[in-house]
Chain A
Amino acid sequence: MEQVTIWNRLGKGLNYTLLTLLAATCVIPFLYVISVSLTPISEVIRKDGLVLIPSHITWTAYEEIMQGGRLFDAYKVTIFRVVVGTLLNMLFTVTMALPLSRKAMPGRSGFLMFVVFTMLFSGGMIPSYLIVKEVGLLNSEWALIIPGLVNAFYLMIVKSFFEQLPEAIDEAARIDGAGEISILVRIILPLSMPVIATIGLFYAVWHWNSYFDALLYINSPENQPVQLFLRQILLASVAISGDAAEAANSVNPVSVQMASVVVTTLPIVAVYPFIQKHFTKGVLVGSVKG
């Protein structure tokens, strides 16, 4: 014990230093964004943009982005999208995955082929846009939810999870007089909580982060999600005609840009630590058998 101590200590010290540095590379960018958002713009410029600890704190950047209430409108859209969208995603994914996981289902491989096909080939942006337009979803928040109701990959994950559940459970329930719905709700779902949590999380994060569909389908400001609001603040300098006389006027100060980054990512960052374990679990769910 005694003679290894020195090497043990050295090794431990080395480990700690390396890991601290590694942690710092992850933490510093966050710290930087938060610090800049709280620093007076003149100090940011004076220090060439590199502020890790502000010498004094100002909330003007936050006041500026809260003005006009557009942020809150955008949040309403995003929250609607995340909550309703994820619920519908789950409903459709689970109800599609269950039959596909049952060997008794006729034409199962045909349907599966159909699903896998969409994973490999897609119609592309313009045909999707045409469909959304023709069914009258343009400018509606439903255009953000309905086209992505079922994600083929997540469907496969849920399906393989359901396949692991012994079919004998179904049969037992059926003998006890349960119908298809109650088998799903009372037997299958309680047994599948890990996969439900994982996939639900994947869907929710996807809803939270996506902006491109909103960019295409939504024109009216009141239906724009928070990611578009963020994009607008960050890209406000873009007067695409490159008119030098106008460009300078429209740029948002870097502190306002950073404040909007903080405001739009804070909620998801705040929930992350609590649900993170499901993410790692989720990658393994349905993939490892036996």
Chain B
Amino acid sequence: MKKTSYASLLLSLAVLSGIVAGCSGSGNSGSNNSEPAASGQPQSGEQTDKKIKLSFYNTIGYRQTTPMPALEQDPIRQMIEKDNNIDLEMTLGGENWKDKLNLLITSSQIPDIITFPDRASAVKYYDQGLLADLDEVLAQYPDLMASFDPTRLEPMKYKGKTIGVPASEGVGGVNGWWINTTWLKKLNLTEPTNPQELLEVMKAFTFDDPDGNNKNDTYGFVAMLPKDGSLGYSTAGPKGFQQIFWMFGVQPNFVDMKDGKVVVYNTDPKTKEALQFIKDMIDAKVVDPDWVTIDDGLKLDNKMYQGKVGVMVADWRRMEPADQQKMKETGGSTPEWKQIAPPKGPNGDQILDAKVFQQSLLGLSKEVLKDADKTKRAMEFIQYLYTSKEAYPYLSYGIKDKTFTETGGQFKLIDKSTYNEKEIEWRYNYAFVRKSDDSVYFDFKNPTVTNANQELNRSYLKDNNINPRIVDTDPMAQDRLKYVNEMMLKFVTGKEPLSNWDKYVKTLDDKFKQADAVAAYEQQLKDDGVMK
């Protein structure tokens, strides 16, 4: 009897809790919402110098998967907290950053300061009401605004409102054309300046045994195919064929503006020329056949270290001693690699890449703006991050006398091989404030060559105020992108003859409604004020 009553009690309790759980969606969040507000209130009522808690959602640090140490082991955080009189609660996003952020939002732990690695996501969260308009607030911080390059500030505007500040400066002119001049000299060739010369050099590098080992084991060119299967412009940052397309002044999946009109290169006749050229390269067997499996920059770099390729597009730092060492260990010799200007295309285009578009964004949540005092403190903290001269070396270079030294105002990084970098890799999660041209941060060992390389690359960048800005919104977008990527691949590998180009253009127009996409791009560009 006793047992029965217990059991039925338990059962009814369980059923009850089930019902409660069913309703908890609204009930719970209501009580949650009021809680932080209540605890926040007394702070705002009191004087501003009081220590407050600021939460910071970091998706822009350079080591997202490296966890942050405890406060005692983190001198940089100690410095930040002391200088700003705050408790800094930093959460790293990692590659599941959207899930994590959604989790924080739904559990009413909306971070005060939120960073986004790309503009499209920031815009999405802004539209959903997470991010605040900052125009009024930012007007009170002229020093902060003055510290950013105007071209980086411009993309922070969305529909006429400023929704954030540039979070981490992207570096321009990273990749450039490299050529193996040791091979050039051996075969008595000159640096190629146009597509025809380029193809000739590649052929010679492939068939004339430039490394002199009497084996047919070299290739003229190596390219990569990122996982999304795009031959041209994509977020995966492919290198190789992308630059060939630019040589012809076009780029698959790239949207441009000419004479005040939106231009889509996917159907441009010059794209056909470029595809023909790439097909010629592949047919002439000068492209390392591994290009179809090289899906990241690291695998591409390995080709350079192996020393079996003569022309490639790679990072501007490849003649630094560490890389030369890798070439020696891997390939057995250190060829004289040299960066050259991009060859000039048949239509006079000499383009290497598009200019860097400021993607990452740092914004404030709307919740913070409800509290004037907290807004002030948060903004002061942001201003501190980006403008404090005293804090900059610590944020960008790490820990004094451990990762960098200072002598008479001059900063220098300590050689990474002399300490265990793994232990303090987390410091890179503060380094997002570093300037894109900070020579101390990049710490070149071979500065004349490396800086000259970047200078060279930068002078062939094409203006770009459009590409990550526009987003595909029409229902056909994914299918269209897939179709374009597939067709481009089929054209260059010969699975589809280029004589079918007109058919491809027609399919894109009729079946995949390219005009709809162009209209959508125009609308977005007008909304942002880029297009009049």
Contacts and interface: CB of A to CB of B under 8 A. Distances in A.
Interface in B240-260: none
Interface stretch (A88-96, A124-132, A144-152, A202-210): A124-132
Contact of B330 (A42, A231, A235, A240): A42
Interface string A213-246: 0011001111010000001100111111111111
Contact of A220 (B70, B296, B360): B70
Interface stretch (B169-177, B212-220, B510-518): B169-177
Nearest to B116: A241
Interface stretch (B61-69, B333-341, B484-492): B61-69
B64 A238 contact: yes
Pick the most buried of B24, B62, B168, B305: most chain A CB atoms within 10 A of its CB: B62
Contacts of B296: 237
B422 A64 contact: yes
A106 B107 contact: no
B7 A106 contact: yes
Interface residues of A, number: 49
B171 A238 contact: no
Interface residues of B, number: 67
A242 B118 CA distance: 9
A25 interface: no
Contacts, number: 138
B306 interface: yes
Interface in A234-290: 235-251
A105 interface: yes
Given A68-B423, A105-B7, A130-B107, A219 B315 contact: no
Nearest to A212: B96
Contact of B428 (A125, A133, A250): A250
A67 B420 contact: yes
Given A107-B7, A221-B67, A250-B63, 12 more contacts: A45-B306, A70-B422, A110-B14, A114-B14, A130-B106, A231-B65, A232-B67, A238-B94, A240-B59, A246-B428, A248-B298, A248-B315
Interface of B: 3-4, 7-8, 10-11, 14, 21, 24, 28, 59-60, 62-70, 91, 93-97, 99-100, 102-103, 106-107, 109, 117-118, 168, 170-171, 174-175, 235-237, 290, 296-298, 301-302, 305-306, 315, 317, 326, 329-331, 359-360, 420, 422-423, 425, 428, 436, 442
15 contacts: A42-B330, A68-B423, A107-B8, A107-B10, A133-B107, A221-B68, A235-B95, A239-B64, A240-B94, A241-B118, A241-B359, A245-B442, A246-B62, A247-B297, A248-B317
